[in-house]
Structure 1
Amino acid sequence: MQNKVRYSKGKRLKKGESELANGTYRYRYQSRSGKRVYIYAKTLDELRQKEETVETNKAYGIRVDSMNTTLDQLAGSWFSLKKGLKENTYQNYLYMYNTFVRDELGGYKIMSIRYADILGFYNELVEVKGLKPNTVDNIHTVVHQVLDFAVQNNFLMNNPSDNALRHLKLESKQHTEKRISLTLAEQQLFIDYMLKYPQCNHWYPIFYIMLNTGMRVGEITGLRWQDVNLENDLITVDHTLVYFNHSENGCHYNIHTPKTRSGERTIPMLSGVKAAFEQERKFQQEAGIKCDVVIDGYSDFIFTNRYGNVHNQSTLNRALKRMIADCNREQLANNPKNADVTLLPNFSCHILRHTFATRLCESGVNIKVIQDVLGHADFDTTMNVYTDATKDFKQQEFRELDRLISNGGSFEKSDE
C-alpha cells in the first residue's frame, strides 16, 4: 500500500513532515538509538533548514540532543565529571562560571554559539564590566574546556571559543602596564624601615626571605622548620598553603602540592636569608610563640601570628600597605624640599617575588638557574622577566653613561 502524498500550501511534504492544526510544522525522525525525535518550526522553510542541520549532524556523528542542549546543561555535566583538580582550582572554576558566564551565555543552545558570541562576550567583560585581561583569561579557561567537552561528546564539531582570546590579549598588551619590581633604592628603603621600628621588626624575616628567595605567598606561609636546612643552606619547596572559600564550610586552609613538577624545588639560601630564619626562631622563642595548628597533617609552620596561627596573603598585603604608607609619610616629612626623595610604590607580596627575579637577571645569573629557583614551568615566563629586567638595566646604565659624558666629557665623578 502506497503512502498518501500530503501537501501544505501547494508544497509537497516530505517523509516525516506534517502540518499541525495551529498552522505550524513538525518533523519526526529516529535517532541512532531508535528514539523518536521531534523538531518544530513556524514555517515549512524554517523546518527544512532545521532538517538540513539534523542530516548534517547525523553525517558528522553529532548527537541528536545537541540542538536543545544549553551551555548551562553541558557545564553542569562537565563540572560533575571533572576530576583530578585541586579543590581551590575547582571552586575557582565554579565561581568564574556562576559569576560571569551563567547569566550571559548559560541559556544559549550549544549549537547556536558562534565565535562572534564568545569574542563579544569577552570584549564586554573588559570594556563594560572593567575586568582585567588576566581575569578574562581565567574565565576563558572554563568556557573553552566546557566547549571542548561538547566537541569530545559529539555535541559540536568545532570549539567556537578557539582563538577567541588571542585578539583580546594582543589588544591588552598595548594598554596594560608592565609588572613593576622594586628598584635597588626602594628595596633598601623597605628593608631599612622594617629594621628601624620595633613594631615592624616581626615582619622583617618573612618579607626579607620573600624578597631574597622569590617564594610564592602560599609557599612561604606553608613553610615548616623541617623544610629549612640551616646546615646546608637549602630550602625545600614541595607544598603550598592555600586559603579559599569552600562552597559548604566557608573559608579555611588546605595544603596542596605545586600545580606543576617544576614547582617542587630546592632554593639555595643567601646569608641574609639564613640570618632571617634564625631571627624568626629567636623571636618566637623569646615571645613564647608556638605553632599548634595542624593543616592536612602538616604542622610546625615557621611564620605565624602571635596566636600561633598561619598567615594568609590578605594578612601580609595589609601589613605591607600599612608599612608603605607609614614609610612614605616619614620620607616626605624628613625631606620636604627634596623632589627626588625615594618613596615606596604600592606593591603586593607578588612584587617581592618579581623583584627577586629582577635582581637575579641584573646580576647575570644563568637563565635556566633563574627558571629553576623561581619554579617556572614555562620557559617563556622566565624569558619575559629576563627581557624586561635587562632592558630596564640597560637603560639605567646608559642614563648613567649619559650623565658622566655630559659632566665635562669625563668618566670621573666630580669632587663636588
Structure 2
Amino acid sequence: MAKARKDLKGRALWKGECQRTSDKRYVYTYTDAYGKRRGVYANDLAELRKKEQELMKDQFDGIDSAKARNITLNKMFERYIATKYDLRPNTFHTYKYLYWHYVGEVLGKKKLIDLRYADMVHFYFYLIEEKQLKVRSVEYIHIILHSVFEMAIKDEIIRQNPTHGIMAQIKKKTGYSRETKAPLTMAQQQKFMNFTANDPVHMKYVPLFTFYLGTGCRMGEALGLRWDDVDFDNRIIHITHAAKYRPGTDDKAMWTITEPKTKAGIRDIPMIDQVYDALKAEYKVQQERGFTTPTISGMTGFIFVNEEGRLRSPEAINRAIDTITRWCNKEEEQKAQEESREPI
C-alpha cells in the first residue's frame, strides 16, 4: 500500500498536493481541459484547499480557470471590440475612445477574476466625482463594460457579471432621472430668436437657430448641410448625411461625414419662409466674404461655418444656447414681474 504523503507538519496531503522544502509553499497540480499541466500555489494548506474547491467549482461550471487568472480587462475589451463587425464606424470609434480614455488606464490592467461588484461601483462613482462625468455619460461607459463582461461569461472565463444592476444603484444614489424635454411654444421660440437677433455676441447664430427651429434637424444634419443640398428654386432641403465630431485613430477629435442610422433619415424637407430667408441671407454673407469651407470626407461647401471657414463646434453651439436661454429667461422674468404677469 502506497505511503500517504505528508507536509512538514505531518499532515496528510491529498492527491496532487505537495509542499516544497525550498520555500515551504504548498502546490496543487492538475490537468486542465486541454491536457496541460497547471498548478496553484498557497502559503498554507487551508488556503490551498480553498483554491482547490474554487477550481473544482469552475470545472463543474465549465469555467476556464487558467485563462481567467491571466486575462485582463484590457485584453477582454480587445477581444470584444474585434467582434463588433456590425457597429457603425462612428459608434466603433466612440466605444474605443470611451474605453481607452476612461477605463483602460484605471481598471484595464486588472484581471477579470479580481474585479468585483464593489470595485465597479467604486469606479463608476470615481467617474462621476473625480472625472466630473454626468450619469448619462457613465451609462454609455457602462453599456460597453457590461457587454465586455457578458462576452467573458459566454467564453466561460468568469461566472458572473460584476456590472449587473450597478446603474440602477448609481441613479438611485445620485437622484438621477431622465428629463422629459418639452418642445418650445411658439411664444418661447419667438422670444429666444428675438433675444439672439438683438444680442451682439450671439446674433451670428441666427441662421443656424432658424434652421433648427424651422426643420427639426439634428445638430449633425445641420452642420453637415452643404449648399448643394439646398434647392432654392423648389424650396427643398435634401438631408442625406450628417457631420460628426468624433475621436480619430490617434484619439484626437476630427470631423467625419456619416450616413443616417436608418433609411428614414434620408429625406427631403420643404423650406418654410423663415428658413428660406435665413439661408438666402447666409448665402449672401458668404458670397461677399468668399466661400471658404473645410473638406470633410471628400465633401465641401458647408453652410454653417464660422468666420474662419470652419464648421461650428457642437460644444460652442450648446454653450451659446445655454447662455442665451439663461439671459433670455432672466430678462423675461424681470419684465414679467414689472408687468405683473407670468413669464413666457
Say yes or no: TM over 0.5: yes
In the alignment, which residue of structure 2 is the partner of 1:382? none
SS in structure 2 of the partner of residue 241 of structure 1: strand
- Residue matched to 1:19: 19
- Between the aligned partners of 1:292 and 1:100, the Cα distance in structure 2 is 33
1:272-291 mapped onto 2 (5 Å cutoff) = 272-285=274-287, 287-291=288-292
Query: Which residue pairs with 2:168 in the alignment?
Result: 166
Give the whole-Å Cα distance in 1 for the aligned partners of 2:269 and 2:216.
Answer: 9
**1:41–1:260 Cα change, 3 Å:** farther
* TM score, norm. by length of structure 1: 0.68
Distance in 2 separating the partners of 1:200 and 1:126:
32
User: Which whole-Å CA distance do the structure 2 matches of 1:140 and 1:187 have between them?
Assistant: 36
How far residue 322 of structure 1 moved from its aligned partner, in angstroms, is: 6.2
Query: Would you say the 8 A contact 2:240–2:259 is kept in 1?
Result: yes
Query: CA distance change for structure 1 residues 335 and 219 in 2, over 3 Å: closer, same or farther?
Result: same
Give the distance between the partners of 1:284 and 1:301, measured in 2 at CA.
Answer: 11
Q: Tell me if 1:5 matches 2:7.
A: no
In structure 1, what residue type is equivalent to 2:11?
K
Which is worse superposed, 48-57 or 88-97? 88-97
Shift of 1:134: 0.3
- Listed one character per residue, the Cα deviations across residues 344-370 of structure 1 (whole Å, up to 9, x for unaligned) are xxxxxxxxxxxxxxxxxxxxxxxxxxx
**Residues 56/327 of structure 1: CA separation in 2 closer, same or farther (3 Å cut):** closer
* 8 Å Cα contact 2:230/2:238 also seen in 1: yes
Aligned Cα root-mean-square deviation (Å): 3.6
Q: Tell me, what secondary structure is at the counterpart of 2:250?
A: coil
Change (3 A) 1:336 1:157: closer
Q: Relative to 1, partners in 2 of residues 1:337 and 1:152: Cα closer, same or farther, differing over 3 Å? A: same
Q: Distance in 2 between matches of 1:304 and 1:46?
A: 66
Alignment of 1:200-219 (within 5 A): 202-219=204-221
Cα distance change, pair 195–119 in 1 and its aligned pair in 2 (3 A): closer
Q: Which residue does the alignment assign to 1:30?
A: 31
Larger RCO: Structure 1 or Structure 2 (Cα < 8 Å, ≥ 6 residues apart)?
1
**Per-residue CA shift, 1:317-339, capped at 9, x if unaligned?**
35446655776787799899557
Equivalence map 1:96-175=2 (5 Å): 96-102=98-104, 104-123=106-125, 125-126=127-128, 130-169=132-171
Aligned to 1:297: 298
Deviations 1:284-333 (A, max 9, x none): 23x24314432111222222223433222133235446655776787799
Report if the CA contact (8 A) 1:195-1:204 is conserved. yes
Alpha carbons of 1:263 and 1:317: their partners in 2 closer, same or farther (altered >3 Å)?
same
Name the CA shift for 1:307/1:28 in 2 (closer, same or farther; >3 Å): same
Alpha-carbon distance in structure 2 between the residues aligned to 1:228 and 1:240:
14
Distance 2:258 2:84 in 1: 18
Change (3 A) 1:314 1:127: closer
Q: 1:171 to 1:270 in 2, by over 3 A?
A: farther
Sequence identity (%)? 33
Q: In structure 2, which of residues 219, 222, 240 is the aligned counterpart of residue 220 of structure 1?
A: 222
Native 8 Å contact 1:289 1:306 kept in 2:
no
Change (3 A) 1:120 1:132: same
After TM superposition, list the pairs within 5 Å mapping 1:9-408 onto structure 2. 9-21=9-21, 22-63=23-64, 64-79=66-81, 82-102=84-104, 104-123=106-125, 125-126=127-128, 130-169=132-171, 178-179=180-181, 182-196=184-198, 202-248=204-250, 250-285=252-287, 287-320=288-321, 337=338
**Does the residue aligned with 1:111 lie in a helix, a strand or coil?**
helix
**Alignment partner, residue 413 of structure 1:** none
For each residue in 1:205-260, what CA deviation from the matched residue of structure 2 results, as whole angstroms up to 9, or x when unmatched? Answer: 21111123222211100012333344554433332212234252733211122345
Which moved further from structure 2: 162-171 or 20-29?
162-171
Q: Residue 12 of structure 1 aligns to a residue in which SS?
A: coil
The separation in 1 between residues aligned to 2:264 and 2:55, in whole angstroms, is: 48
Gaps spanning 5+ residues in structure 1: where? 344-416
Instruction: Judge conservation of contact 2:135–2:176 (CA < 8 Å) in 1.
Output: no
Distance verdict in 2 for CA 1:54–1:232, change over 3 Å: farther
Equivalents in 2 of 1:242, 1:72: separation in Å?
27
Aligned length: 341
Q: CA deviation at 1:197?
A: 6.3
Residue 148 of structure 1: CA displacement? 1.9
For 2:230 and 2:112, how far apart are their aligned partners in 1? Answer: 52
Deviation (angstroms), 1:147: 0.7
Cα distance in structure 2, aligned partners of 1:292 and 1:104: 40
How far off is 1:185 after superposition?
Answer: 3.5
- Is the Cα–Cα contact under 8 Å of residues 185 and 342 in structure 1 kept in the other structure? no
